Structure 1
Amino acid sequence: MKHLATLALAALMGLSACGDDGLADQLARKEAKDAVRPVLAQRFPGVPLEPATDCVIDNASAGEILKLARAGVTGVGPEETQLVIEIATRKETIECLLKDGLAPFLK
């Protein structure tokens, strides 16, 4: 079943050239979020999960999103875990977390 899901994801990824707001991009981001959430929950306990996940995805390159989307379907390994940590600790991601992720809890 995972093989079929991987094939479907790969087929939709091929359509991603149709635009950033297209179905393929939306699907890739959803699958990537499925890979990011458990890493954030384990490595950054207590961080608001949904806003943090959005910040990581918003600060990932298209190639990184595709890599994470594949992991969202096939499973997160050490390489993808390291990628999430790398993206999460980027200056832009931290700024996003401070602005959008933690601000509502600081009021």
Structure 2
Amino acid sequence: MRATLVLLGTLAIVACTPAARDDVTRSAARSVVSRVVIDRFPSVPVQPAIDCIIDNATTNELVGLASDAVLGPTAATTETVSRIAQRPQTLQCLATEGLPALVATTL
């Protein structure tokens, strides 16, 4: 069942223009990343964290995350999100985007 859903999703993405394909992939990845962020990193501002993770993921990671969106996050999804979150570029993004959002919500 999962393989069929992933195949259908992949075929839909392949049929799109490159820009549309990127938007669909990022949107699907964003949906699963949001679930991981909410569950794994409850104290960080969700939207800035999701943006930083998506913006610092490789194309292969985004495709993998997008395919995980079909049935929901797995242990591999959480591992991928955690690995992306630990990158220096992601940490810099979180410091510049996430901390101001965190401070604004506590004031």
Could you say which TM-score interval applies, normalised by the shorter chain? 0.7 to 0.9
Q: Structure 2: where are the runs of 5+ without partners?
A: none
Kindly indicate whether the alpha-carbon contact (under 8 Å) linking 1:6 and 1:74 is maintained by their aligned counterparts in 2: no
The runs of at least 4 consecutive aligned structure 1 residues that moved more than 6 Å come to 1-4
Equivalent AA in structure 2 for residue 58 of structure 1: D
Q: Once superposed, what is the RMSD of the aligned Cα atoms?
A: 2.1
Report the Cα distance in structure 1 between the residues aligned to 2:96 and 2:15, rounded to whole angstroms: 33
TM-score, length basis structure 2: 0.83
Report the Cα distance in structure 1 between the residues aligned to 2:47 and 2:66, rounded to whole angstroms: 16
Q: Structure 1: where are the runs of 5+ without partners?
A: none
Report the Cα distance in structure 1 between the residues aligned to 2:99 and 2:4, rounded to whole angstroms: 38
Q: How many residues align?
A: 104
1:44 aligns with 2:12: no
Identity of aligned residues (%): 34
1:53 aligns with 2:50: yes
Report the Cα distance in structure 2 between the residues aligned to 1:15 and 1:87, rounded to whole angstroms: 28
